[in-house]
Structure 1
């Protein structure tokens, strides 16, 4: 397999501050592995012989919002510009940013802690079945699988899946025997799943303005249908302000969940969401 070296402002600064030879991590700190690179007067030489001009390394050192990667001797940004702009952001682990909106909380936390706070609300266990409605970079699916659960994760956007395939922290989505990825809109995919087939639902949708149908009573009824009796739901709602268009947004979510049959519906402030269960 062709080796990929990842570069952020952190590694670039180490190279510029170090002498002729330096060891740096080149997998976005997914592991503790380091590589020896050769820092010359006008360029940096990587283990496979690839060379990057020192002036480019200086530019990377100033860019705290972009992940770069070196593959086959060519340097790229970990970004996709199609009908929108998608990029990996060099938090540890990385988050994904779509049109300037980050998909994980990063203020006073990091994407891994953010993920664990959500998964901890429903505590998937060994042998349980989990549906993760909106995969993103797959951290929720990976965390649930590490706890022994079997996970079906759904992702609508092929650009997000492409960045997940690139991201070292997302690798288990594509290699774990406990994770199955389905590409599609969760609103449609859920209708094809069997009644009472999941112990846990983790619903972490995009903001309401981008995916309002995933906050609908119709969709919540499908989540209720696929959950087993005593099954648990976590629904990330975020913090769009106490009022959203004149209404308490979380309260509206909770009311719709109750109307379709969920019980024990309550807010979980530390995870910025709502939990509920099926009787």
Structure 2
């Protein structure tokens, strides 16, 4: 990692020391540069948004999606590197479940993310297998421990996030806390708990977890603001694939208007050529 990227990564680590910050999710260079231009101190990638931009489904249950339908690790890493190379802020990579069950596979993924210039990355415990949707806790912990070892071996600043999807599969909050704390103890710098969206659940997580908490907003819209989340003690807020999904909603609406009505009212609400040229110049 060159000096400039190292400085960015160090800034990213510092963002997790105290306070609360918003880390929006990009899916390509254009979206990342727009988020950077808006003034965010860092951006994350969204594996869902990247998959959609490639005409592929997001990582989901294999029975519905097909294991071969997901974006492979090399393709995802190329997109991460493209984004890192074209923005001046730190980039955290959505690394899904690490692209393999074995701890060694997770370690290799972390090493690839470091080589791509990422300043952080998350590893989740979702398997894609409906018969066992989460990795067994002992294995999940070993996977985080292997990720931590890969970070340490790389010798670069990097924020490792341990994500549990326990709430996403309707497991208890106690199970979620147990898993998140186990990942923090195994070397994660931050815990990520998608599905925690109300003040009571988030407040409990902040009190019960032994490290900083990341929550994701925008999955279905939410009454909580960034200030509300800051007051609850959340350290980091991401938005997952919600911006990408909103963009694709507009695209789908425009396509249907053209195909079904042959009208062009979608164009009344667009950025001008000059605005986009100025953003990307």
Note whether the superposition's TM-score is higher than 0.5: no
Larger radius of gyration between Structure 1 and Structure 2? 1
Higher RCO, Cα 8 Å, sep 6+: 2
TM normalised by structure 2 equals: 0.28
Task: Return the structure number with greater helix share.
Answer: 2
TM normalised by structure 1 equals: 0.29
Task: Return the structure number with greater strand share.
Answer: 1
